[in-house]
Amino acid sequence: SKTFAASVDAVEKHPGATIVVVKPAAADAPRFKGGQFAFLRAKGAEKHPFSVTQQLPDGRIIFSIKSFSGWTKSGAPNLKAGDPVEVEGPWGAFCPDFNAREQVWVAAGIGIAPFCAWMATAAERRRAQGGQASDEPRIQLNWCIKSRDAEPLLERAVSLAKAAGIELRIFESKGERLD
């Protein structure tokens, strides 16, 4: 079974989104690859699929949950550190081809979550190669957001892009159409 016990480690509440960090109960819990997702189930709730924003070296898993309706709007923001959760995964293979020399990635809003996981993988690869960028692919990530002030993953995305050597271009709509 791909289901394992975990507990909420931290919760960041933002307008329109909740960032939830969970800590697997067992040290041998599965590792996630950038671009994979998992089902998350809180006590008394049905399971919901979410992209893994990042898995930290200590095994903690970060989920970025957009507040749409139902549990994502009323349940996720009410999670507290120590709450038990169940994680089912990893699932999926939305993964980049790091062998392609030039790449353009496009994300919008909370849809940056799997790209954060990709950038974390790219940063790990870069560190393992001693920070050498000569054989790394050239990657440009174009990210459309409403506002820098209201974007909960802005600092994480900027930091990961820098560590990975990825050119991050941010387009703010400020509520207007981007034509």
Asked whether residue 106 carries a pLDDT value surpassing 70, the answer given is yes
Question: Does 90 sit behind a cis peptide bond, omega within 30 degrees of 0 on the bond before it?
Answer: yes
Question: 159 by DSSP, 3-state: which?
Answer: helix
Amino acid, single-letter form, for residue 7: S
**Per-range mean pLDDT, top range of 64-68, 122-126, 141-145:** 141-145
Instruction: Give the total residue count for the chain.
Output: 179
Asked whether residue 142 carries a pLDDT value surpassing 70, the answer given is yes
- At residue 114 the predicted structure's pLDDT band, cuts being 50, 70 and 90, is very high
Query: CB-based burial of residue 135 (10 Å sphere; 0-12 exposed, 13-18 middle, 19+ buried)?
Result: exposed
- At residue 85 the predicted structure's pLDDT band, cuts being 50, 70 and 90, is very high
Instruction: Report whether 151 contacts 124 (CB < 8 A).
Output: no
**CA contacts within 13 A on the Cβ side of 175:** 2
Question: 73 by DSSP, 3-state: which?
Answer: helix
Chain mean position to CA 126? 19
User: How does pLDDT run across 118-131, given as a tens digit for each residue?
Assistant: 999 999 988 888 86
Over residues 86-111, the mean pLDDT reads 91
User: How does pLDDT run across 2-19, given as a tens digit for each residue?
Assistant: 999 999 999 999 988 999
The model carries a pTM of 0.86
Chain mean position to CA 161? 13
